[in-house]
Structure 1
Amino acid sequence: MNPHPPAPTCVRHPQRPTGLACTRCGRPACPDCLRPAAVGQHCVDCLAQDQRSAPQMRTVAGASVARTPIPFVTYALIVANVVIFAITAAQARSLMDNYYGSPLFSRYMLVPRLVADGQFERVIGSGFLHWGPIHLALNMFALWVVGRNLEPGLGRSRYLAVYLVSLFGGSAASMVFQDQNTAAAGASGAVYGLFGAITVLLIRVRQNPNQMLILIGINIFISFSLPGISLSAHLGGLAAGTLATVGVLFLPQWLNARTPEAVRAIGWASIAAVAVADLAVVAAAVATLA
């Protein structure tokens, strides 16, 4: 009979003898596999099981709370706009007049008559073009300021969807109210949509929205006052983004949705409804111009 039985070994590292054990499951574990707990120490397997069984934290939009709060979608949109601007500037061989001599700019700027002729890609593509670096810088700065706060609240996919339906809404309004042979471009419609979206979010979480309302009012006044600014695109984007976000944040509450799945489904249905409305406006404008 062996008077000295072998020391227990770590369940995760059988080659390591240990005199320690998890105070929760009782299994032997080495120091590398144990973590301090309120009482004793728990092994990494018990901690992982706790994380899997813990309820997932969600935002008011029903989105999972991101472990990393970095607004990746906002940064990706900024990069996309900057890259497209760089391409147009290279094609035009001019940083300031990137819209002259750029085939990409000519192909995607919004001209209602050309959209009515079947060039529907201009409706979305125009939202990634900008008239010079100042136009680009203003829109991208606004996108960065608003997006980094709005994206975590809506969740990345809903945030991107609201951005796109706002862009679509701005183009749809331009199709109706803009001269049929006048060109328009810029992310302003999408940015205005995000202005409306973050205002709705502030109201939903019971924070004061006055600063955003004042900012929206000032920007609309500027759009009225300065020539060459597409007021219709700004208002169309603002309306689309606001309505879509009301559907995401308030409609599930009004319909008494009780599960995260129902909240998400109602939110996505609201965004889809705004997109369909945008499409209907574009179709009506095309029918008028045809």
Structure 2
Amino acid sequence: MDQQPPADRDPSEEGGSPQVCYRHPDRSAGIRCTRCERPICTACMVSASVGFQCPECVRNAAGTGHHPAASRPRTLTGGTVAADPHLVTKILLAVNVAVFAAVWLTGRSWLVEDLMMLGRAWDPQPFPGAWVGVAEGQWYRLLTSVFLHEELLHIAFNMLGLWWLGGPLEAALGRIRFLALYLLSGLAGSAVTYWMSAQNQGSLGASGAVFGLLGATVVLMRRMNYDLRPALVILALNVLFSLRPGVAWQAHLGGLVAGTLIAVALVHAPRTRRIAVQCGACALVLVVTAVIVLARTAVLT
């Protein structure tokens, strides 16, 4: 439940502690409401004609005769403020875990072989055999592989990253924009893997999508004037981890680039053309992803 401090006190000013949101004392605040000047976190930031306002000031303004659409709470990027700002993150977690459970309960092999990212390979089953992979028209592998994990440590690390990065991002971006960021980052990671890997090299996991969230987190923190050093250290460590043998660094690279570009468009789009710029950036990433896939398919076939 949201906690309300006394009107004449600001919790961020008590005891010299770091500035925190007046509605969510467990969250840091990088900006103040332009009306009441109380510190607010990304989940409480409501876009206004000048700067951002807190939900209370927006509700008060609505009672003075402003048009309801003008006073509807919005996120930093123009999305609708949801009652549960982490719902999409929870759903994505549940889908990943459900697919992982299905892999284990069915004996792994057939489900992994049918859903993992694979360019083109000869499959001896069913008799007398056939070519399988994205190059053979199985484009669904570009997306299904993003939700597919085979090892416990693999899904554990990816889901921890999704939870730590996804919740704050979803609250700041809104559900639809966050979901678009996640899926497009995952698709871009699969496309780059398809392009740069051997045609018979399989890959799976949500790492590309998580790297997209990591890139978006850096962009958002810079937009909020937060200290970037912790995020950059985490990014550097993950990049180094990507260089280990057996890790699909191509997916990490594709997801990171796509997520960063999308996030820049989401958080820096001008207010007057916000929807057009945001949709245009997502469409551009999708088109580039499709071009990469088509070009690689033409080479393999």
Q: Considering the TM-score relative to the shorter chain, is it more than 0.5?
A: yes
How far, CA to CA, are the matches of 1:180 and 1:51 in structure 2?
57
Listed one character per residue, the Cα deviations across residues 254-277 of structure 1 (whole Å, up to 9, x for unaligned) are: xxx43xxx3123212111111111
**Cα offset, 1:131, TM superposition:** 2.3
| Residue 181 (structure 1) aligned with residue 200 (structure 2) | yes
Q: Is the 8 A contact 2:183 2:209 kept in 1?
A: yes
How far, CA to CA, are the matches of 2:69 and 2:264 in structure 1?
32
Q: Which moved more, 1:169-178 or 1:205-214?
A: 205-214
Aligned partner letter, 2:236: G
Aligned to 1:81: 96
Aligned to 2:295: 284
Aligned partner letter, 2:119: P
**Cα offset, 1:51, TM superposition:** 9.4
Listed one character per residue, the Cα deviations across residues 189-240 of structure 1 (whole Å, up to 9, x for unaligned) are: 000000001111111122222211111110110111x211001110111001
**Cα offset, 1:284, TM superposition:** 1.1
Aligned to 2:236: 217
Q: Which runs of 4+ in 1 moved over 3 A?
A: 46-54
How far, CA to CA, are the matches of 1:186 and 1:82 in structure 2?
12
How far, CA to CA, are the matches of 2:163 and 2:183 in structure 1?
16
2:282 to 263, 271, 276: 271
How far, CA to CA, are the matches of 2:64 and 2:151 in structure 1?
52
Secondary structure of the residue that 1:184 maps to in structure 2? coil
Q: Is the 8 A contact 2:212 2:258 kept in 1?
A: yes
Q: Is the 8 A contact 1:189 1:236 kept in 2?
A: yes
Aligned partner letter, 1:109: M
Q: Is the 8 A contact 1:248 1:271 kept in 2?
A: no
Structure ID, larger Rg: 1
- Equivalent pairs counted in the alignment come to 228
**Cα offset, 1:143, TM superposition:** 0.1
**Cα offset, 1:125, TM superposition:** 0.7
Aligned partner letter, 1:227: P
Q: Is the 8 A contact 1:175 1:285 kept in 2?
A: yes
Aligned to 1:160: 179
Secondary structure of the residue that 1:264 maps to in structure 2? helix
Secondary structure of the residue that 1:112 maps to in structure 2? coil
Listed one character per residue, the Cα deviations across residues 109-152 of structure 1 (whole Å, up to 9, x for unaligned) are: 11111111111111111111112111111100100000010001
For structure 1, which runs of at least 5 residues remain unmatched after alignment?
A: 1-45, 93-97
Secondary structure of the residue that 1:220 maps to in structure 2? helix
| Residue 126 (structure 1) aligned with residue 145 (structure 2) | yes
Q: Is the 8 A contact 2:103 2:150 kept in 1?
A: no
Aligned to 1:147: 166
Aligned partner letter, 1:59: T
Aligned to 1:244: 262
Structure 1 53/288 Cα, relative in aligned 2: closer, same or farther at 3 Å? closer
Secondary structure of the residue that 2:286 maps to in structure 1? helix
Listed one character per residue, the Cα deviations across residues 77-115 of structure 1 (whole Å, up to 9, x for unaligned) are: 0000000111110000xxxxx4xx3x2211111111111
Aligned partner letter, 2:289: D
Aligned to 1:106: 113
The TM-score, its normalising length taken from structure 2, stands at: 0.72
Report matched runs for 1:55-94 at 5 Å: 55-66=71-82, 68-92=83-107
How far, CA to CA, are the matches of 1:275 and 1:211 in structure 2?
30
Q: Is the 8 A contact 1:124 1:168 kept in 2?
A: yes
Aligned to 1:4: none
Listed one character per residue, the Cα deviations across residues 7-58 of structure 1 (whole Å, up to 9, x for unaligned) are: xxxxxxxxxxxxxxxxxxxxxxxxxxxxxxxxxxxxxxx9798894761232
Report matched runs for 1:28-67 at 5 Å: 52=68, 55-66=71-82
Q: Is the 8 A contact 2:118 2:134 kept in 1?
A: yes
Aligned to 1:39: none
Structure 1 167/53 Cα, relative in aligned 2: closer, same or farther at 3 Å? closer
Structure 1 56/87 Cα, relative in aligned 2: closer, same or farther at 3 Å? same
Q: What is the RMSD of the two structures over their aligned residues, measured on CA atoms?
A: 2.0
How far, CA to CA, are the matches of 2:213 and 2:166 in structure 1?
7
Aligned partner letter, 2:281: S
The TM-score, its normalising length taken from structure 1, stands at: 0.74
1:172 to 188, 191, 195: 191
Aligned partner letter, 1:62: G
Report matched runs for 1:252-271 at 5 Å: 252-253=269-270, 257-258=271-272, 262-271=273-282
